[in-house]
Amino acid sequence: MEEAEKLLEAIARLEEVADAVSADEAHREFDETTLQVFWKQWPDHATWAGSLWRLLSDELAQPSTPHVDPELDETGASG
């Protein structure tokens, strides 16, 4: 679960940056090192995120099935 928490934190931090500055402003205002690191690393991150998104999209496109748990199923009769 630690990795899931890290992902949620990273998404929240990226949203903060995106809310604070437009892409045009970032291009003009961020230092060259930041822009170069983004340019170099983003394709790998985008590929990973795209793969995860496709897996989730495929999963969510399937009809849902009821959760089966015999311990929770009621039989309608009690002794």
Each residue of 18-71: pLDDT tens digit? 999 999 999 999 999 999 999 999 999 999 999 999 999 999 998 877 777 777
Output the pTM of the full model.
0.68
pLDDT in the model for residue 71: 72
Tell me if 13 is assigned to some domain.
Answer: yes
Tell me if 6 is assigned to some domain.
Answer: yes
pLDDT in the model for residue 78: 60
Tell me if 53 is assigned to some domain.
Answer: no
Cα–Cα dist 66/30, whole Å: 50
Cα–Cα dist 56/44, whole Å: 19
Tokens encoding 65: 């099935």
Tell me if 20 is assigned to some domain.
Answer: yes
> Does residue 74 have a pLDDT over 70?
no
Tell me if 62 is assigned to some domain.
Answer: no
pLDDT in the model for residue 69: 72
Structural domain range at position 16: 1-39
Tell me if 76 is assigned to some domain.
Answer: no
Q: Number of folded domains in the chain? A: 1
